[in-house]
Amino acid sequence: MVFSIAEQADRYATYILKDDRHPARLEVIPERGGLITRWQVAGQDMLYFDADRFADPSKSVRGGIPILFPICGNLPEDQYTWAGATYTLKQHGFARDLPWVVRDRAVEADAVALTLELTSTDQTRRQYPFDFRLRFTYRLQGAHLTLVQTFENRSDRPMPFATGLHPYFQVQDKVALQFDLPATTYLDHLTQADASYPGHFDFQQAEIDLALRPLSAQTATMRDPQQGTQLTLQWSDDYRALVFWAVQGKDYYCLEPWTALRNALNTGDHLLTLAPGDSHTATVTFSVAPL
């Protein structure tokens, strides 16, 4: 069989999607935030994953592709005000920490796909006073991984939100990386200063945390000569920024598509808003090619 989906019983149920033609492999753990923990193309791991940190549920995950919802980044004092009430919401929201439910598995003629769902609960409404349903479909097709994300407002009032993905890409030599990113300016999250983006990053810094915007295109490319791979990200026009994050001494870099920047629930800047009963679909595709 060219395409397949298997379920592996471990501490958490892991769903393994395979395309044996290339080969390509995707591993997903719904119970831990709908997290993609591994994406492998032609035997090469594209994602960094800290298994020791993952084993401690009290710690945030470092690795894979965490889901950001209903905010990206953090809020001042972890708080925002909506309709006269103040709510507490931690960095990147709660979707990456909650258990998701498998709703569909599909082995198609040219791809394999897994659909997960997250719905509002009393716990989420205490942090975010809206009823919602999220459905994310992970579609593996050769060297292409597409995340189709559908957001539904099940409340009786408009629902504002931001969303994003936080992929951790595996790398051994960051200095050798080559970037083609569709932005000429960035906001430095560490200094809050705006600056011109010169086309490369200073990896001598202990930490890099930059929001590149505005975006002039919906495609970004990273080349890794050491791995011999070119990684391309493509996204729908909902995404308004790319956040680049790297920490010195760690074998990863993150290039994160965000629909809105930090504190958007307070500022309203670039928030997506759904009318009652409406839904919205966004997509992000990751593709790998040899150099």
* Predicted local confidence at residue 160, as pLDDT: 98
pLDDT tens-place string over residues 15-50: 999 999 889 999 999 999 999 999 999 999 999 999
Residue 1 clears pLDDT 80, i.e. is over it: no
Q: How far is CA 288 from CA 46, 71, 246, 255, in A?
A: 9, 28, 21, 15
Contacts of 85 (CB under 8 A, 6+ apart): 129
pLDDT tens-place string over residues 133-182: 999 999 999 999 999 999 999 999 999 999 999 999 999 999 999 999 99
Q: Is the dihedral of CA 68, 72, 77, 82 positive or negative?
A: negative
C-alpha span between 173 and 140 (Å, rounded) = 27
Of 131, 164, 165, the C-alpha closest to 278 is 131
User: b or e along 170-186 (b: 16 or more beta carbons within 10 Å of the residue's beta carbon)?
Assistant: bbeebeebebebebeeb
Instruction: Flag whether the pTM goes above 0.85.
Output: yes
Contact of 166 with 34, CB cutoff 8 Å:
no
* Predicted local confidence at residue 215, as pLDDT: 98
C-alpha span between 4 and 11 (Å, rounded) = 22
Res. 10 pLDDT band, cuts 50 70 90: confident
CATH of domain 3-175+223-290: 2.70.98.10
Q: Domain ranges for the chain, please list them.
A: 3-175+223-290
Q: Is the dihedral of CA 56, 132, 29, 256 positive or negative?
A: negative
